[in-house]
Chains A and B, each alone.
Chain A
Amino acid sequence: MISTAPKPSEVIVPPQRHYLNAGYGVKSWLLTTDHKRIGLLYLASITLFFFLGGAFATIIRLELATPAGDLVSSENYNKFFTMHGVVMIFFFLIPSVPAVLGNFLIPLMIGAKDVAFPRLNLLSWYVYNIGAIITLYAIIAGGVDTGWTFYAPLSTTYSNTNVMATGVGIFITGFSSILTGLNFIVTIHTLRAPGLTWLKMPLFLWAHYATSLIQVLGTPVIAITILLLAFERAVHVGIFDPALGGDPVLFQHLFWFYSHPAVYIMILPSMGIVSEIVATFVRKNIFGYKFIAFSSIAIAVFGFLVWGHHMFVSSQSVYAGMVFSFLSMAVAIPSAVKVFNWTATLYKSSVSYQTPMLYAFGFIGLFTIGGLTGLFLAALGFDVHVHDTYFVVAHFHYIMVGGAIMGYLGGLHYWWPKISGRMYPEGWAKLGVLTIFVGFNLTFFPQFLLGYMGMPRRYHAYSEEFQVLNVMSSAGASILAVGYLLPMIYLIWSMRYGPVASANPWPSTGLEWRTSSPPPPENFEKTPVVTWHAYEFKPRDQAEIVGEF
């Protein structure tokens, strides 16, 4: 087993007192206002939901291994893909990076003792769990079959499944997302350490700031939409069902006004992670810092202008479709700015191929494929052809799984020494990232072809000519499942048996690396004064890091 254990000469002594041993017992965790512990609480919750969502995906892929609908009934299949989407999007992807790594790292990165509103932060975790439990109830009570999009009037009038409970669960969980975003915006504005100006901030912070803007501006709209939907379902009075005089397309407008930007809630934080990892493992100042920073904000703003590209075939006016199509192309610019800047950073550099960097490579490649196929879909004419086919499914999985989850796992590995105080086993981790990469591509690349050939999504049976590609996809999914189980096992293992990590194992320049691993409860012994730029690296042969405080 390869490991990044320190050289024998330097024995690393773990800190006497840190946030993990600051208190034991259930109460010290459940009533904590320490942002680091809340990050770990979120980690536990979302991991549970990740594997629940994964279980639904497993059933979907098993069913699709054969052309006949022979494993589950069509009604149950509807429920499984709906619950897969609901669980993965609202209970894993949206909270994933911000609530776990953002919570843990933002105060550390800005040299603060905590987020601006620690009690609201804890409240957000409870709110998340209340919503999660209600949704779990809905799942156990028989599930929901409307698709994660809850289109009216199916959801308001015709579906006989637990739409109400699921809606209430998502509505409540939305507030945890709002609270997190609000907290981060205020924290980044008011709690930065002396000397840490906006343009010295790590790009992770810029990405989270942009994410928080979306959470704050978008989530309330889905909240009121779900509320109106729930009332309409409960008392059969409302504004979406055409039988009541309403307009179902209004629901789609309101829904996608949030749910398209929500994609950027999922991907932007991972982009922030990749910026950190790339700079650290090539030990170079990142190329085009300002461009990457402002492209995050640009993505957050442009992301709100494109939602109509989900509605090209919904009876939306073609003229609006043209506007939305054009604006969707515009989002590609800031996204491409990021990809170009990362690759420019890599140019003529010497890369350390450690696990986080491998995840970052995976992200850059897969996100680029996902992003470019997104451009296909943004083109009005092409979208009409592949709308609601597996091409769309493959596209957004390249963004959400190949992009967001790759970034999330990369970040988890990168900051694992800081979180746990231990190194993860490098050999196993490399095996993990390789398994995930292979499994992922085998799962989702065939779906591009399937979609292009015309296989529609959301059906449990399909024509026989699609079987070969579907079997490939299902086989890839089982490899992917193993790839996701690996990190869970060895990361838990490393908490106890991994080699003790130094304060700055990579080494990197960020403030979070200038306190012990794991950090003390108050993060820093004295308030740091930042005099260096976020990615000011000394040449590789000089081990020390720039700037002292």
Chain B
Amino acid sequence: MAESHAATVEGSGPSTTALAHHFEDMEQQREAGTLGMWVFLITEIMFFGGMFLAYTLYRSKYPDEFARGSRELSILLGGINTVVLIGSSLTMAMAVHSAQTGNRKKLIGFLAVTLLLGLTFLGIKAVEYTEKFEHHHFPGVNFKLGEHSETASQVAQKPDGAAAQPQAQKPVLDSKRVQLFFWIYFAMTGMHALHMIIGAGALSFLIYYSRKGRYTPEYYAPVELTGLYWHFVDIVWIFLFPLLYLLGLHE
């Protein structure tokens, strides 16, 4: 809230170019920007929340099928992606730090590394998606499960069950429900990847403008706000990774 009077509105100073006409001072503008970003992130929580609800519901309804689907995902690739994304969060935080301390070279460097890690994540995701399509794991009429995977037969076997014919027990799993898992997997990771792509775009802008020297310790709100967004996308993945990749190992 503006505590001061309007004396500074038309005033001159090093930061006036970055100050929009309807704010009293830089502090108010920064506060509004940060608040706006946080409110936006709340909408993002609810947006992903709808899908988390669907996940929770169907996982509790069809635990076996979800475990089955989950085992088709590569923990190795997912794990690498988790490491990549957490690393990019660190470099993003460092970029904000560099902007705060006015180190332009480091700012550009950290932004570039963040962008690179983000693109790495997307690249690995693309490899995973390709694999899923090749294995007919995308839900739909061509959906198939199992031929290429050794774990297929283990599914139907209860740990204490008799060594029944794996083939005979297969129909116990409803293919439609496994498809539901894959649909939720694609919807959630796809929406996450879309957010990554938008984040990568924002980072490219930041790099372009930091090279032009737009950001100073007085005005670095875009860096800070993009940082908040990037960390949020990281947090979504922090939940997606265990829920989609890990929880199916034992059911």
Contacts and interface: CB of A to CB of B under 8 A. Distances in A.
Do A and B truly interact?
Answer: yes
A254 B50 contact: yes
A245 B179 contact: yes
Nearest to A212: B39
B36 interface: yes
Interface string B180-219: 1001100100010000000000000000000000000000
Given A118-B22, A216-B42, A250-B57, A221 B49 contact: yes
A437 B32 CA distance: 42
Nearest to B141: A236
B5 A245 contact: no
B47 A221 contact: yes
Interface in A196-252: 216-221, 223-225, 228, 231, 235-239, 244-247, 250
* Chain A interface mostly: helix
B180 A194 contact: no
Contact of A244 (B22, B31, B49, B176): B176
* Size band of the interface chain A makes with B: 35 or more
Interface in A131-185: 178, 182-183, 185
Interface stretch (A109-117, A311-319, A487-495, A500-508): A109-117
Interface centre among B39, B61, B176 (most CB of A within 10 A): B39
B147 to A, nearest CB: 20
A347 B233 CA distance: 55
B50 A527 contact: no
A239 B54 CA distance: 8
* Size band of the interface chain B makes with A: 35 or more
B140 interface: yes
Contacts of A113: 21-22
B35 interface: yes
Contacts of B241: none
A500 B177 CA distance: 68
Given A244-B176, A526-B6, A527-B5, A190 B184 contact: no
A182 B34 CA distance: 12
B39 A239 contact: no
A527 B6 CA distance: 6
B39 A186 contact: yes
Contact of A246 (B4, B53, B180, B191): B180
Given A116-B32, A190-B32, A216 B39 contact: yes
Interface string B16-44: 00001111100010011001100110111
Contacts of A231: 187
Contacts of A246: 58, 180
Contacts of A118: 20, 22
A186 B23 CA distance: 12
B21 to A, nearest CB: 7
Contacts of B251: none
A290 interface: no
A192 B2 contact: yes
Interface of A: 112-118, 178, 182-183, 185-187, 189-194, 216-221, 223-225, 228, 231, 235-239, 244-247, 250, 253-254, 526-527, 529
10 contacts: A182-B36, A185-B35, A187-B32, A189-B32, A194-B2, A237-B139, A245-B62, A245-B179, A247-B61, A254-B53
Given A217-B42, A217-B43, 14 more contacts: A114-B22, A117-B32, A186-B35, A191-B23, A194-B3, A220-B44, A223-B47, A231-B187, A236-B140, A239-B58, A244-B179, A244-B180, A245-B62, A527-B5
